[in-house]
Amino acid sequence: MGREIYRGSPDNPDNPGQTQRYHDGVRMGSFGLMLNSVLLGFTSVVLEKLCRKWGAGLVWGVSNILMALCFVAMLVITYVAKTMDYLPNGEPPTGIVIASLVVFTILGAPLAITYSIPYAMAASRVENLGLGQGLAMGILNLAIVIPQVIVSLGSGPWDQLFGGGNAPAFAVAAGASFMGGLVAILGLPRARIACIIEKARRRKPIGLSPLMIYGYAVEVEVLQPFFAVDWAYQSTRNSFG
């Protein structure tokens, strides 16, 4: 906000107006982060319902794609800001500021999902496999921290290769988020099996074992229903001999 939108700079003592515009942009960016936190809190409240309805993997994937779209929007806003004529006092147009704040706010939703769903999914999968949750959390934290270190060390030189500014780093972030979203949607299970099993238990044929209930639930809700009906009928008949 301070550099790209308000066209300020903290390193120019000979131009106090530019320094003031930078600080104004930083303050407006802080206000955007406050709005971001509000949406983050609201998303955290409704997150469980979203996961029960659509599945944790799908919610996580959609949030990553939403994040990628926000990064692309930042690139567009930056480009438009560079081509627009600012006010005589150097203040950016109101529309550019509002658009930036909207993007700041929307990013609160994928941030809330990123803070919770990966850890919940890793813990649930490890528990089902009978493995150690502490080891799984440690590996997950390394998978998060290592890219952060790479970004922290490499984003500055990467931006300088293209003449400065944050646009190159945002472009890489948009691509990485989009690819991560596709992997989450296509590669992770929908995580609705618990709800599906509960539905199947309510209408299960008498005499089915828990393993049969699981298979019956998956086939009824995920695969082709007419195959599940025949399978359930055969399982019930075999149970009664």
Q: Name the residue with higher pLDDT: 227 or 48.
A: 48
Given 162, 187, 212, which residue is the final one in a domain? 187
The answer to whether residues 111 and 32 belong to one domain is yes
The answer to whether residues 89 and 167 belong to one domain is yes
The answer to whether residues 183 and 204 belong to one domain is no
**Residue 5 resides in a domain:** no
Whether the pLDDT of residue 180 is over 50: the answer is: yes
**Mean pLDDT lowest among 3-17, 102-116, 203-217:** 203-217
The answer to whether residues 53 and 81 belong to one domain is yes
Q: In this structure, what token pair is assigned to residue 193? A: 């099996």
Rounded average pLDDT over 132-155: 83
pLDDT score for 215: 44
**Residue 140 resides in a domain:** yes
The answer to whether residues 37 and 151 belong to one domain is yes
Measured between alpha carbons, how far is 187 from 30 in angstroms, rounded to an integer? 36
Whether the pLDDT of residue 235 is over 60: the answer is: no
pLDDT score for 189: 66
Q: pLDDT tens-digit profile of 186-224?
A: 887 654 444 444 454 455 444 444 444 444 444 434 333
Per-residue CA distances from 218 to 66, 97, 195, 203, 239 (Å): 29, 49, 10, 13, 20
Given 187, 208, 226, which residue is the final one in a domain? 187
pLDDT score for 202: 54
The answer to whether residues 97 and 129 belong to one domain is yes
The answer to whether residues 90 and 207 belong to one domain is no
The answer to whether residues 116 and 205 belong to one domain is no
The answer to whether residues 132 and 154 belong to one domain is yes
The answer to whether residues 112 and 45 belong to one domain is yes
Across the chain, mean pLDDT equals 77
Provide φ and ψ at 209, rounded to 5°.
-75, 165
- Which CATH number characterizes residue 98's domain? 1.20.1250
pLDDT score for 140: 83
Whether the pLDDT of residue 129 is over 90: the answer is: no
The answer to whether residues 101 and 214 belong to one domain is no
**Residue 4 resides in a domain:** no
**Residue 46 resides in a domain:** yes
The answer to whether residues 209 and 172 belong to one domain is no
pLDDT score for 228: 38
**Residue 2 resides in a domain:** no
**Residue 10 resides in a domain:** no
204: containing domain: 195-239
**Residue 119 resides in a domain:** yes
What's the domain count of the chain? Answer: 2
Given 161, 187, 213, which residue is the final one in a domain? 187
**Residue 172 resides in a domain:** yes
